[in-house]
Structure formats: C-alpha cells, structure tokens
Copies of this chain bind each other. A is one copy, B any other.
C-alpha cells in the first residue's frame, strides 16, 4: 500500500464520507461515477488472481465465468459514461475521449480472453484516465 493511499484512507476515516454522487441513467437523473466501472474491473483482476492461484478445476472454471460477467459490467458502465455523461463541449476539451473509451472497452473485452493480470491492470489504468477527465469536467 502506497503512503498516499494510506493517507487518503486515514482521511477517509476522519472526514465524513462525501454524500454527493454522480448520475448514470437516461432520465437523466444526473448521477454518474466512474467508480462503478472501476469496482467491476477490480473484480475482473481479482478473478484472474484467484484463477492463477488455484489448482481446483471447478473453482478455476467459476473464476473464468464470473470474470466474463464482470468484464461485461465494466463495458456497460463505460459505454454509459461515454454516451450519456460526456457532451460535445467535453470532447472539444478532451479530443482523445472517443479513442480513450474505445481502448478501454476493448481492453475490457480482452480481459475475458486471458488470465494475465497485466491486461486487467491496463484496463484499470484506462479507467483511471477516464476517471481523471471525468472529475476535471465536474470542477
């Protein structure tokens, strides 16, 4: 655990947790949050680790099947952000937005086809990049 994480985690305990959320339906209700994609992507990576660390064939089969479902959720959450949250003015300021989402959702698809955690990490990195742009637009 990096020192920054530790610090943030400590602050998380001390400070009241934020209650502002960030919309994700098509009403639109206005609540979006890249955390939804990130949590599922962490699960994808964890499934790979569980798969690699086990020699029980049924367990490994289940890890593959659950990874498949979680990767689907990652794609869904990212697609929703791309189409529903981001607006032309965001694209103007972040011209790589389309390519970034394309790469990220393709990476989510790749995680279905492998148990190499590096692929899952690449997906998490793409989501982190999207997350950072997302919060910049929220300022």
CA distance A102 to B50 in the complex (A): 25
**Does A42 lie within 8 Å of B31, measured CB to CB?**
yes
User: Is chain A's binding surface mostly helix, strand, loop or mixed?
Assistant: helix
Chain B residues with Cβ under 8 A from A112's Cβ?
Answer: 26, 62
A118 within 8 Å of B (CB atoms): no
Q: Nearest-CB distance from A115 to chain B (Å)?
A: 7
CA distance A84 to B110 in the complex (A): 10
Please give the count of copies of this chain that the complex contains. Answer: 6
3 nearest A-B pairs in the assembled complex, by CB-CB distance: A21-B42, A98-B98, A29-B46
**Does B115 lie within 8 Å of A58, measured CB to CB?**
yes
Binding site for B on A (CB under 8 A): 1-2, 4-5, 7-9, 11-13, 15-27, 29-31, 33, 35-36, 38-39, 41-43, 46-47, 50, 58-59, 61-66, 68-72, 75, 79, 82-84, 98-99, 102, 105-106, 109, 112-113, 115, 124, 128, 131-132, 135, 139
Which one of A24, A26, A98 has the highest number of Cβ atoms from chain B below 10 Å of its Cβ?
Answer: A26
